[in-house]
Amino acid sequence: MSWMVWTLPTAIFFSSIAAMLAGMTVWELRSPSIERKGFLPISTTRGDRLFISLLSAAFIHLGVVGFTSLSLLVASAVSVIWLLVMMRWG
């Protein structure tokens, strides 16, 4: 039987996602979002943009691991920048 190893980076990763989801839940309860049109070709809410940016971050990391020799810290930095861009202008 194989067990998942919870290293510190893994714990930080999953804790960060849990904190983002909890924060978005509180934000949505305090100030309900309305759909708006940004640079994406669809109208989105804050939750939609968060989901799209998290999914995009996974593909950014897969691309870095699969096609470059760059550090995962570079992929993480690009993903955080992409998240901020998506949440603001997406």
* Class of residue 49 by CB neighbours under 10 A (exposed 0-12, middle 13-18, buried 19+): buried
Quick: pLDDT tens for 36-74. Answer: 998 989 999 999 999 999 999 999 989 988 999 988 889
Residue 17 has pLDDT above 80, yes or no: yes
Decide if 86 contacts 60 (C-beta within 8 A): no
Whole-model pTM over 0.85: no
Q: What is the model's pLDDT at position 12?
A: 87
